[in-house]
Amino acid sequence: MLGRKFLHKEIEAKWQKKWSDENLYTFKNLEAVGNPFFNLWMFPYPSAEGLHAGHAFASTGSDIIGRYMRMNGFDVFQPIGYDSFGIHSENYAIKINERPQKVVERTTKNYERQMRDLGHGYDWTRTVTTSDPDYYRWTQWLFIKMLEKGLAYRKEAEVNFCPSCKTVLADEQVMTPAQAGKQPKDENGNVVSQSDDLRVCERCGTVVKKKNLEQWFFKITEYADRLLEGLEKIDWSERVSIAQRNWIDKKEGIEITYQVKESDETIKVWTSRPDTNFGATFVVISPEHPQINKLTKPKNSKEVEEYVKLSKSKSREDRIAEGKEKTGVFTGSYAINQLTMKEMPIWVTDFVLMDVGTGAVVGVPGHDLRDFQFAKTFGLPVIRVVVGSDGDESEITSEKQVQENEGKMINSGFLDGEEIKNAISKMMDYLESKGWGKRKTSYHLRDWLVSRQRYWGAPIPMINCQKCGWVAVPEKDLPVLLPDIDDYKPQGEGKGPLAGHEEFYKTKCPKCAGDAIRETDVMDTFVDSSWYFLRYPSVGAEDSENLAFNANITKKLLPVNLYFGGAEHSVLHLMYARFVWMVLKDIGLLGNSDKSNFKSGWDEPFPKFFAHGLMIKDGSKISKSR
């Protein structure tokens, strides 16, 4: 009838009640489901009073797929939960001056109310909230499993430190301002000028600094090749797969050992272009290089010491900035180029980083722009050993002449006339045959730093005993409960707020019963989200209090049929979840799957991932803070 109103609130409420009364989206026994389809949307951070438009946008897309599959005869399992630990929720709690526990308790209730009002087909009986002890008990259990497999370790390392969030960040959480979608700021919140080398915190956009701290790491680098190989087996958005490949960045090269003149010392460099080694004229090492004192002659020591001190006061970004004037200091020592028997002076320079390659680089100024700039600054020889397509064999005297691309070898003995690709392989063979080098693969990927000097996270389940060293908390004593404290704000002094509470950190060693100290750092929230999809189906199962996930239910529902989420997590959550899945599979906790209808079988948790895109306003993504 014309003019009649569509009473959407009444109609929505009526049908939502009917769906709820009939348990339309709820399964009492997932083991008995005949034709399952696990439809998963990345769970949200409850770091504001309620949802934003982007949540509704993404959840709607995922729900449409769920409804479509349900109409095609599938038993759709579509759970929901909250990524409630971590810096997002804690910073919101600090902003409104309320304890994180109280904030999350209130906001998750409101999120649920709003999500239910959307009418999406979620199974609300299997919700997970990562800050609940019955969940983070198993996150701590996962840490211990990593330790048992030799994949968790502690070491002092130069780490990324956000002065605003007052905590360390994993490499994957440090981005260019463009990647983070934020204006770069200093620690006082003032906007700073953009530059190609600037790196900021992915959460707040503050320029990241470097610190040396003792931290816990997961050895994700041991899985680098499998993470790369797995990308060939899964149906993912191309940009997400490319992002992971580029982040892992596998490069084939060779580690060359040079003898130091008039010394028992040798120095190792890694290079992917050994073909140019006939044109090598110097070696540069990092200010942090462990051999620096042995390589420095007494007459050069004062100058080297002053340069090292100055270099360590600079940020990583300042040190590696493109186009900046090259600086350095001569150690007084020389390495011998075995191919030419020429002496190559060994210099210290701040553009060489200790965590890249071996912390030493062989300089070939005719065929690397950075090497050329260094050679010109300090008057070092420049030798051409590659001719480009223009056939120019003249002496290289300007940056425009530096030949970095494809070409043919000259002035290179047995390599003369060879194309670069063939020359690289021949040179590697030659160096190995002489015992001067060994093929070695290099990766950009670094081990996952999981320590956080914050309060709102799962306590790392480790105890430090003077007699026994670091000891894991026994599984029977999990969870290590996060105490409810008033002074939860981060101090930014290299330790978390729990370090100020003796009632938490004073304990007994599980091995010798002597006095010991608990770890006071908490885990990165990406550890919480690295396995939540495994917990969903087992919530409420008879053995859910004794197991992180039920093996039979897991085999029935996993891997996820369709994962729906943001591409911004390409080298964060998505990489970490794949790694954790592979580890659990290797340990034997996932068993073997008899499923054959997935392209990647049981090797990957998300055979199909759909990146839903972002809602953009004024050049920035819609978020709760806007």
List, for residues 284-315, the tens digit of each pLDDT value. Answer: 999 999 999 999 999 999 999 999 988 877 76
| 287 vs 351: CA distance, rounded Å | 9
Q: Predicted confidence band at 323 (pLDDT cuts at 50, 70, 90)? A: low
At residue 618, the pLDDT reads 65
d(CA 112, CA 110): 5
Please state the rounded mean pLDDT for residues 427-441. 97
Selected residue with higher pLDDT from 237 and 172: 237
| pLDDT, tens digit, 9 for 90 and up, residues 95-108 | 999 999 999 999 99
pLDDT of residue 569: 86
pLDDT, the chain, mean: 91
Residue 595 is predicted with a pLDDT of 45
pLDDT digits (tens, 9 = 90+) for 365-406: 999 999 999 999 999 999 999 999 888 899 999 999 999 888
> Please, what is the end-to-end C-alpha distance for the chain in angstroms?
42
The DSSP string of 129-195 is ETTSHHHHHHHHHHHHHHHHTT-EEEEEEEEEEETTTTEEE-GGGEE-HHHHTS--B-TTS-B----
Pair 281, 341: CB distance under 8 Å: no
For residues 539 and 411, the answer to whether their CB atoms sit within 8 Å is no
Q: Is the pLDDT of residue 201 over 90?
A: no
Per the CB < 8 A criterion, the answer to whether 138 and 39 are in contact is no
Q: What's the pLDDT band for 616 if we cut at 50, 70, 90?
A: low
The pLDDT score that the predictor gives to residue 168 is: 81
Domains and CATH numbers, the chain: 28-130+529-621 (3.40.50.620), 138-219+447-525 (3.40.50.620), 251-442 (3.90.740.10)
Which pLDDT score, from 0 to 100, does residue 621 have? 60
Nearest to 591 by CA among 552, 533, 546, 535: 552
Say which range, 424-428, 429-433, 543-547, has the weakest mean pLDDT.
543-547
Q: Could you tell me the pLDDT band of residue 594, with boundaries at 50, 70 and 90?
A: very low
Local confidence band at 363 (pLDDT 50, 70, 90 cut-offs): very high
What is the percentage of the chain residues whose pLDDT exceeds 90?
Answer: 69
pLDDT at residue number 162: 87
pTM beyond 0.75, yes or no: yes
Q: What per-residue confidence (pLDDT) applies to 601?
A: 59
**196 closest CA partner among 318, 307, 37, 338:** 318
